[in-house]
A = this chain, B = another copy of it.
Amino acid sequence: MTGRGFPEADYRSRTARAQGAMQAAGLDALLLTTAADIQYLSGFLTRFWESPTRPWYLVLPASGLPVAVIPRIGAALMRQSWLRDIRTWNAPDPEDDGVSLLADTLAELVPGGGAIGVPGGPETRLHMPLRDWQRLRERLPRHRFIGGGGVMRRLRMIKSAAEIARIAAACSVADRTFARLPEIARPGAPLSDVFRRFQMLCLDEGADWVPYLAGAAGPDGYADVISPATERPLAAGDVLMLDTGLVREGYFCDFNRNVSLGPAGPALRGAHARLIEATAAGFDRARPGATAADLFTAMDRVLTGGRSIKQAGRLGHGLGLQLTEPPSLLPSDRTPLEPGMVLTLEPVIDLGAGRILVHEEDIVIRETGAEWLSSPYAAAMPELA
Contacts and interface: CB of A to CB of B under 8 A. Distances in A.
A46 to B, nearest CB: 5
B124 A214 contact: no
Contacts of A47: 211-214, 226, 228
Main secondary structure of the interface of A (DSSP, over half): loop
Interface in A298-330: 311-314, 317, 322-324, 328, 330
A90 B214 contact: no
A53 B121 contact: no
B231 A328 contact: no
A197 to B, nearest CB: 8
B317 A72 contact: no
Interface stretch (A200-208, A272-280, A374-382): A200-208
Contacts of A125: 52, 125-129
B121 A131 contact: yes
A45 interface: yes
A330 B92 contact: yes
Contacts of A207: 196
Contacts of A3: 230-231
A123 B228 contact: no
A124 to B, nearest CB: 5
Contacts of A48: 212, 214, 226
Given A47-B228, A230-B3, A210 B208 contact: no
A13 interface: no
Contact of A130 (B126, B206, B213, B312): B126
Contact of A74 (B124, B226, B322): B226
B120 A224 contact: no
Given A52-B322, A93-B332, A324-B52, A208 B192 contact: yes
Contacts of A323: 50-51
Contacts of A231: 3
A138 B226 CA distance: 32
B212 A210 contact: no
Contact of A120 (B46, B130, B213, B317): B130
A213 B127 CA distance: 21
A95 B228 contact: no
A227 B50 contact: no
A183 B129 CA distance: 42
A4 B231 CA distance: 10
A245 interface: yes
Contacts of A126: 125-126, 130
A10 interface: no
Contacts of A162: none
Given A3-B230, A52-B125, A76-B354, 18 more contacts: A2-B227, A2-B230, A4-B228, A46-B214, A47-B226, A50-B211, A53-B123, A53-B317, A53-B328, A90-B313, A92-B314, A92-B330, A124-B130, A125-B126, A125-B128, A125-B129, A196-B206, A209-B213
The 4 closest A-B pairs by CB, nearest first: A120-B130, A48-B226, A76-B224, A51-B324
7 contacts: A2-B230, A53-B123, A77-B226, A90-B311, A121-B129, A124-B129, A208-B228
